[in-house]
Amino acid sequence: MRLLIQRVTEAAVHIGGRKKNSIKEGMLVLVGIEEADNEEDITFLCKKTVNLRIFDDENGIMNRSILETGGDIMVISQFTLHASTKKGNRPSYIRAAKPEISIPLYEQFCSTLSEMLQKPVATGEFGADMQVELVNDGPVTIWIDSKNRE
């Protein structure tokens, strides 16, 4: 499972020209799921996400987690995080999990993250054509892959 986390001052997701969800200060989390992912990956990444110290403290140093700031999280599914560009110019998405595997894992990821955050997380719609807008704060962008823990 792969995450691309962006610290944002605001983010929104639109589907079919209508705003589905939006957040103010917090994190936009793009999630890519592969066939080998499981509950252990979800737990690891959710803990990492809510404890990631990427928010400024009173001295302007990134030393606070989203749990400490009370910020919001928006989670968007994005199979393209598993794109392979090793061969040719057209990315291959063969490592991305099929919907029958990825939908339950995505839903579990959102639920677990919400429990750890102690409030609901905003989401898009799995598999939909979404337009995501954000203001990246910093910019701060963090890449985490649950298969590269060491």
The per-residue pLDDT for 116 is: 98
Crossing angle (nearest 10°) for helices 99-117 and 39-51: 40
pTM here is 0.94
44 is catalytic: no
- CATH superfamily for 2-145 is D-tyrosyl-tRNA(Tyr) deacylase (3.50.80.10)
Calculate the CA dihedral of residues 79, 52, 134, 57 and round it to 10 degrees.
-170
Q: CB–CB of 96/33 below 8 Å?
A: yes
Q: Which amino acid is at 93?
A: Y
Confidence of residue 82 (pLDDT cuts 50, 70, 90): confident
Which residue is catalytic, options 6, 78, 112, 123? 78
Using alpha carbons only, give the angle 114, 123, 40 rounded to the nearest 5 degrees.
50
109 is catalytic: no
79 is catalytic: yes
Note the pLDDT tens digit of each residue in 93-141: 888 899 999 999 999 999 999 999 999 999 999 989 999 999 999 999 9
Q: Are strands 130-145 and 2-15 parallel, antiparallel or unpaired?
A: antiparallel
Question: Is residue 30 classed as helix, strand or coil in its secondary structure?
Answer: strand
What does the mean pLDDT of the chain come to?
95
**Overall average pLDDT of the 81-98 stretch:** 88
- Of 105, 78, 103, 104, the C-alpha closest to 93 is 78
Which residue is catalytic, options 6, 49, 55, 79? 79
Question: Is residue 81 classed as helix, strand or coil in its secondary structure?
Answer: helix
Domain edges within the chain = 2-145
